Structure 1
Amino acid sequence: MKSGIHPSYRPVVFRDKVGGLAFLTRSTATGASTVEWEDGTTYPVVDVEISSASHPFYTGQSRVLDTAGRVEQFRRRYGDRH
């Protein structure tokens, strides 16, 4: 590998804002804030919007879509042709 062209690969904490899940891994991502981890060491934090702790597929919670509005829009546009 060429020296000086690769980003630093170091331990980083990824934290889900909604689900409350946090895990320590190695990454090239950088975070603006830091957190003290369970081992007493301070690591940079990268906040993520969604993870397995908050994703509907993994949690079993489904979201309600406005299907009635879409059906009515389709009928207005194309009518009830048979």
Structure 2
Amino acid sequence: MKQGIHPESYRFVVFKDMSNGNSFLGRSTAASKETIVFEDGNEYPVIKLEISSTSHPFYTGKNMLVDTAGRIDKFNKRYAKK
């Protein structure tokens, strides 16, 4: 690994899956203005995710529909005319 090209500001952050509410602790350099109290009682910055391994159909083996921005409705309206 090359020296001096990697960020030095890694810190613990909580990643929260917004589709199912699951949270996990990891390290990141991503900036966040929001904080959350994690299971261990400490307060960490929170990074909100639309989908993670706990809700993705590939990892869960289930076809769970996650429609965050009405994308399915837009698709159906666009191609309903054909």
TM-score range, shorter chain: 0.5 to 0.7
Contact 1:19 1:51 in 2 (8 A): no
In the alignment, structure 1 segments of 5+ residues that lack a partner are 74-82
Identity over aligned pairs, percent: 48
The amino acid that maps onto 1:55 is: H
Output one character per residue of 1:1-27: Cα deviation in whole Å (capped at 9) or x when no partner: 55xx83511000000000211000111
TM-score by length of 1: 0.63
The runs of at least 4 aligned residues of structure 1 exceeding 4 Å deviation read none
CA distance in 1, matches of 2:39, 2:25: 10
User: What corresponds to 2:27 in structure 1?
Assistant: 26
Contact 1:15 1:22 in 2 (8 A): yes
In the alignment, structure 2 segments of 5+ residues that lack a partner are 66-75
Output one character per residue of 1:8-63: Cα deviation in whole Å (capped at 9) or x when no partner: 11000000000211000111112221001122110000001111122122222166
Contact 1:17 1:50 in 2 (8 A): yes
